[in-house]
Structure 1
Amino acid sequence: MNILDIINKFPNQESCIKFLEEIRWNNKPKCLFCFSEKVNSVLKESRYKCKKCHKSFSVTAQTIFHHTRVPLQKWFILIVLMANAKKKFIIISSFKRLKFTFSNCMKNDA
C-alpha cells in the first residue's frame, strides 16, 4: 500500500474511524471497560456509551491514536511510510514532512 492508496481509501476522518471499527470490533462495538456489546452510538462525537456500565469510549481509546490531535489519515500515511522505509533517515524525514511532533500529536489534557 502506498500514500495514494491511503488517500483514496481513507479520504476523511470518518472513513478512518469506520476502518478502525471494522478491524477492532468487526463493526460490533464492545465496551472497553465491561466488554458488554450493549452500547449506544453518540454520532456527533464518534463515540459510544455503554448501557451496562455507562462509560463512554471511542474506537481510538487504548490505542496509539488515543488523545491524538493529528487526523487519522495523517497517522495512516505515516504508518505506511514507516512500514515501507528501509532506513531510519526516511522515517525521520517523513515525520518532518508531515509536521509530526510529540506536542502536536497529543491533547493538552493527556
Structure 2
Amino acid sequence: MILLDAFGSESVAADLLQQVRWRDGVSCPRCRSDRTVRNGSYGHFQRYLCKDCDRTFNDKTGTIFAHSKIALRKWLFSIYAFSRFNTSLRQLQCQIEVTYKTIHRRVERFIVPSRSYEGRV
C-alpha cells in the first residue's frame, strides 16, 4: 500500500486541485461567468470574486471536497488508492483515520455520477 505522505502537504494538494479544476480558466460556479479576479486566500485555497454576480468562491466550491473537515490530501489519496489499487474502504478508513460512513459517502459521491435534474419542475 502506498503511504499518505506520498501526496505531500495540503498546499501541494490544493495546487493540484487548482490545476485540474481550472485548466480551461477560472469561471464562477454560480453564474458560469469567466469575469473573475483573485480575492485573497482561504487556508491553502485561492479565493476568487465574480465580477458579474459579486459572489466569492474558492477552488473547492461546487466539488465533492466542499464543506469537508478532512484534509484534501487525504481525500485525494483515498480516491487514488480506491480507484487505482482497488483498496477496500475499511483499509482507507484506517489509513486516513475517518469513520467508515464518512469515507463511504465521499467515495460514493465520487464514483456515482450525480443525477441530472432535467425534466423536473
Normalising by the smaller structure, the TM-score range is 0.7 to 0.9
User: Which residue of structure 1 aligns with residue 115 of structure 2?
Assistant: none
CA distance, structure 1, for counterparts of residue 39 and residue 55 of structure 2: 12
1:43 aligned counterpart, secondary structure:
strand
1:60 aligned counterpart, secondary structure:
coil
User: Which residue of structure 1 aligns with residue 75 of structure 2?
Assistant: 75
User: Which residue of structure 1 aligns with residue 10 of structure 2?
Assistant: 13
Bigger relative contact order, structure 1 or 2 (CA pairs below 8 A, ≥6 apart): 1
CA distance, structure 1, for counterparts of residue 53 and residue 41 of structure 2: 21
> Which runs of structure 2 are paired with 1:1-110 in the superposition (5 Å)?
3=2, 7-8=5-6, 10-26=7-23, 28-45=25-42, 46-83=46-83, 84-85=85-86, 90-101=88-99, 102=102
1:54 aligned counterpart, secondary structure:
coil
User: Which residue of structure 2 aligns with residue 105 of structure 1?
Assistant: none
Contact 1:40–1:50 (CA<8 Å) still a contact in 2?
yes
Q: Which has the higher helix share?
A: 1
TM-score scaled to structure 1, two decimals?
0.72
Contact 1:3–1:80 (CA<8 Å) still a contact in 2?
no
CA-to-partner distance for each residue in 1:25-63, whole Å, 9 max, x for gaps?
216211111111121212331221111111111221221
One-letter amino acid matched to 1:93: Q
One-letter amino acid matched to 1:92: R
CA distance, structure 2, for counterparts of residue 95 and residue 27 of structure 1: 34
> Structure 1: which 5+ residue stretches go unaligned?
103-110
CA distance, structure 2, for counterparts of residue 30 and residue 58 of structure 1: 11
CA distance, structure 2, for counterparts of residue 40 and residue 64 of structure 1: 23
Aligned residues: 97
Distance 1:80 1:25, change over 3 A: same
Q: Which has the higher strand share?
A: 2
TM-score scaled to structure 2, two decimals?
0.66
